[in-house]
Structure 1
Amino acid sequence: MAGTAAPDLDEVTAIDVAPPTSWQTVVWNDPVNLMSYVVHVFRTYFGFDAATAHRLMLAVHHDGHAVVARGPREVMEAHAHAMHDYGLWATVREDPR
């Protein structure tokens, strides 16, 4: 390899490594589904105990939405799709934490 310069080993290379991004599945309030049905969906799909499912349902009802799951984007998208299959309004957003 004649004519190839050797790399400067003293050179500092800055590499920004972002931490893994976490995402959220958010369930939103709607005027259609009964509160008991939302609790049923949360218990059936996510496996929440009765108290957790009820607390999340009340957050949806009173605050307009609740974060029901956090994790990798693909998993959160699957959860949102499942919520749509149950007739609930859900979206995915980047976790601000």
Structure 2
Amino acid sequence: MMNPLRSPRLESNPHSSPESQGATALALEGIWRVVVLNDPVNLMSYVVMVFKKVFGFDDATARRHMLEVHEQGRSIVWSGLREKAEAYAFTLQQWHLTAVLEPDETH
């Protein structure tokens, strides 16, 4: 008889490799985007400086993302695993930028 508290889907398969378990975790986790939204408060030079400090962008990359935010209202500044995306969004919010997470449906 099966234990009702243990789901067979949650039990690990002793025959699966660590690589396939990692791929499964990635598939369940998904890829997330860090999106910076436009705001009427921060100066463009300030946003460029924050992008350079937080992401290590060079000046041209930081300016390109800042202009996307300014002209299009948003820019995807990073994508990857959710935990790191949350950390980046939190850091940007500490710098008083409006940053949100969204799932990357293309992966």
Q: 1:33 aligns to what? A: 42
- Could you tell me how far apart the structure 2 residues matched to 1:31 and 1:37 are? 12
Q: 1:53 aligns to what? A: 62
Give the greater-gyration-radius structure (CA).
1
| Structure 1 residues not aligned, in runs of 5+ | 1-16
- Could you tell me how far apart the structure 1 residues matched to 2:56 and 2:72 are? 22
- Could you tell me how far apart the structure 2 residues matched to 1:36 and 1:25 are? 20
- The one-letter code of the counterpart of 1:47 is G
Q: 1:90 aligns to what? A: 99
Quickly say closer, same or farther: Cα 1:45–1:18, change in 2 above 3 A: closer
Cα RMSD (Å) of the superposition? 1.4
Quickly say closer, same or farther: Cα 1:83–1:18, change in 2 above 3 A: closer
Q: 2:31 aligns to what? A: 22
- The one-letter code of the counterpart of 1:81 is F
Q: Deviations over 1:26-67 (max 9, x none)?
A: 000000000000000000110000000000000000000000
Question: 5 Å matches for 1:67-78?
Answer: 67-78=76-87
- The one-letter code of the counterpart of 2:77 is V
- CA drift at 1:96: 2.1
- Residues matched between the structures, number: 81
| Structure 2 residues not aligned, in runs of 5+ | 1-23
Higher helix share: 2
Superposed structure 1 runs of 4+ greater than 3 Å apart: none
* TM-score, length basis structure 2: 0.72
